[in-house]
Amino acid sequence: MKHEASARIERFLHEVPAGGLAVVCHSAFTQDHTLLTNQFSAKTKGKGKVDAYTLFPGMEASYNIFLASQVTFHHEASPTMLELFHCRSGRVGWNMRGGTAVYLGAGDLTVHSTACCADSDMMFPVGYAEGLSFSIDLQCLTTDCPEILQEAGIDPKKLQERFCSGKPAAIPACAELDGIFAPLYAARPEMRRPYLKLKVQELLLYLHDFQPDHKELTQYFSQQTELIKEIHSLLTEHFDQRFTIEALSKRYLINTSTLKEVFKTVYGLPIATYMKEFRIRQAMKLLRETNDSIASIAERVGYETQGKFTKAFKDVAQMLPSEYRKNYRNL
């Protein structure tokens, strides 16, 4: 499933050069009301595309799609500018100011001021991500508020106190968020702006009544997540070897429970499951591109016997290695 999503995104971005970030602005106003899109500078280890839409004065939304390991952003910092990011697919990690790291999976939402992310690294642990972001000027909302939000009694100061005064809020996937965002991803291009204008108001209503006692995603120190990325590099660069949790814990001076917990937060899967899938993806490449025997490939990706490899391969690929080679060789 991850491989299919990555391949689809690669096809979508085939015209964007490596290291490029294509930004398309769809302005609805004669004057320039864009908030962050025309401000930010970005460097990417990969490529991506941002489709930005102005909605109301002081409100902007953008569809974001990345095939990269990391994007570094710089834009103005403001304690009254609300920034929201919803992850549609892939995984997103964000090292914010103050040493806080937030990680999102499909359906999760982060809410914070642009003061938190003015100079930040957005990381994509599985190599890609899709999502929607909203930028909302709360000062502008005070003086130029859409009628529906006025009727609901939306208080920009309350939103600022709740979401812009401290650490980012990270809200896990739930039915309410899915109801807001699913129509936005399904909308035809010509219907995007009307849906965005409708849904940004619904999103603000949701956040205005958001109860902090709801379970939020756990946030970690950036140092912890950077250490986990070092462990990930060791595991994936030496995938023909086996490392126990205890050995990794001693080597990197991190207790075993924290290691397992933070790895799953960053990469979306327990270590054993992640490495099983990683090894099988490497084996798939070898089956497609080499004439090596299945026994040899099993050994190269870290399996002691061909039988154990075949069972693991079928668990992941839903077919035998021999069937996979026959079906996908030289494609």
Are 177 and 257 in a shared domain? no
Are 150 and 276 in a shared domain? no
99, 223 in Cβ contact below 8 A? yes
Q: Give the closest residue to 217 by CA, choosing from 261, 257, 178.
A: 261
Beta bridge mates, 223: none
What does the alpha-carbon distance between residue 35 and residue 135 come to, in Å, rounded to a whole number? 7
The two beta strands, 109-113 and 81-90, are: antiparallel
CA angle, corner 277, sides to 12 and 2, nearest 5? Answer: 20
> How far from each other are the two terminal CA atoms of the chain, in whole angstroms?
18
Are 62 and 191 in a shared domain? yes
Q: What pLDDT, on the 0 to 100 scale, is given for residue 30? A: 45
Domain with 318 in it: what CATH number? Answer: 1.10.10.60
Are 65 and 39 in a shared domain? yes
**DSSP H or E segment with residue 162:** helix 156-163
CA angle, corner 36, sides to 87 and 19, nearest 5? Answer: 65
Biggest CA pair distance of the chain:
70
Give the domain extent around 226: 221-328
227, 254 in Cβ contact below 8 A? yes
Q: Which of 162, 187, 217 is the last residue of a domain?
A: 217
Which tokens in the block code for residue 224?
């912890």
* SS3 assignment, position 311: helix
Rg (alpha carbons) of the chain, rounded to whole number: 22
117, 127 in Cβ contact below 8 A? no
Q: Which of 199, 217, 235 is the last residue of a domain?
A: 217
Domain with 85 in it: what CATH number? Answer: 2.60.120.10
Are 314 and 213 in a shared domain? no
Q: Which of 217, 235, 251 is the last residue of a domain?
A: 217
| pLDDT tens for the 331 residues of the chain, in order | 566 777 889 888 999 998 888 888 887 654 444 455 555 556 677 899 999 999 999 999 999 999 998 888 777 778 889 999 999 999 999 888 777 889 999 999 999 988 887 777 788 999 999 999 999 999 999 999 999 999 999 999 999 998 888 778 899 999 999 999 999 999 999 999 999 999 999 999 999 998 766 567 778 888 899 999 999 999 999 999 999 999 999 999 999 999 999 999 999 999 999 999 999 999 999 999 999 999 999 999 999 999 999 999 999 999 999 999 998 886 5
**Residue found by looking up tokens 């929607």 in the block:** 132
Are 265 and 310 in a shared domain? yes
Count: domains in the chain: 2
What does the alpha-carbon distance between residue 275 and residue 281 come to, in Å, rounded to a whole number? 10
Are 231 and 202 in a shared domain? no
Instruction: Report the length, in residues, of the chain.
Output: 331
Q: What pLDDT, on the 0 to 100 scale, is given for residue 34? A: 47
**Residue found by looking up tokens 């809410």 in the block:** 111
322, 288 in Cβ contact below 8 A? no
- For residue 276, give every residue at least 6 positions away whose Cβ sits within 8 Å of its Cβ, in sequence order, or none: 312, 315, 316
Q: What pLDDT, on the 0 to 100 scale, is given for residue 33? A: 46
Q: What pLDDT, on the 0 to 100 scale, is given for residue 40? A: 57
Q: What are the tens digits of pLDDT across the range 135-185?
A: 999 999 999 999 999 999 999 999 999 888 877 889 999 999 999 999 999
Task: Give the DSSP letter of residue 240.
Answer: T
Are 170 and 297 in a shared domain? no
Count of beta carbons in the 10 Å neighbourhood of residue 46 = 19
